[in-house]
Amino acid sequence: MKLGVRLRPIHLLMAARRWLENMIWCAGPLAFGLAAGWGMVLREGTIIGFALLGAGLHLLTILAVLKSFLRWAPELRLNKALPQPSPAERVGMILLYPVMLIGTCFGPLLYYAYLCRNFATGRLVPRSKTRRIPH
């Protein structure tokens, strides 16, 4: 009798999907920024066009999430009014958004660096947890 789990093709597909999502989170903003910058240096319209298309699609997802939040906000029963940033603060947020996106790459990149270190030295990958405030 053989014990164990039998992997079906759907399991492999889901693992590949999760890996791809992690790679997009890990390297997507960096690759996008490098490609857009390289397109501008070369003055290559096709690369710049694809960069603008990608930025536009990303903006659509942000606007969709914002629209959903605003639709659900009354039901959330927030105990404070939402902050209303000034026009200058809004411009600053938009200008610094790419910096924030690149900053989100460091967590996954650090994890993969730990995996490489584990492979090379056998040292365990740290599994630290965020401290939670008791309710």
Contact status, residue 87 vs residue 99, Cβ threshold 8 Å: no
Inter-CA distances, 90 with 44, 93, 95, 100, Å: 30, 5, 9, 14
Cα angle 111, 94, 107 (rounded to 5 degrees) comes to: 5
Task: Convert the pLDDT of each residue in 25-46 to its tens digit.
Answer: 888 888 888 888 999 999 998 9
Task: Convert the pLDDT of each residue in 58-78 to its tens digit.
Answer: 889 888 988 888 788 777 777
pLDDT band (50, 70, 90) for residue 3: low
Q: Answer whether 0.75 is exceeded by the pTM.
A: no
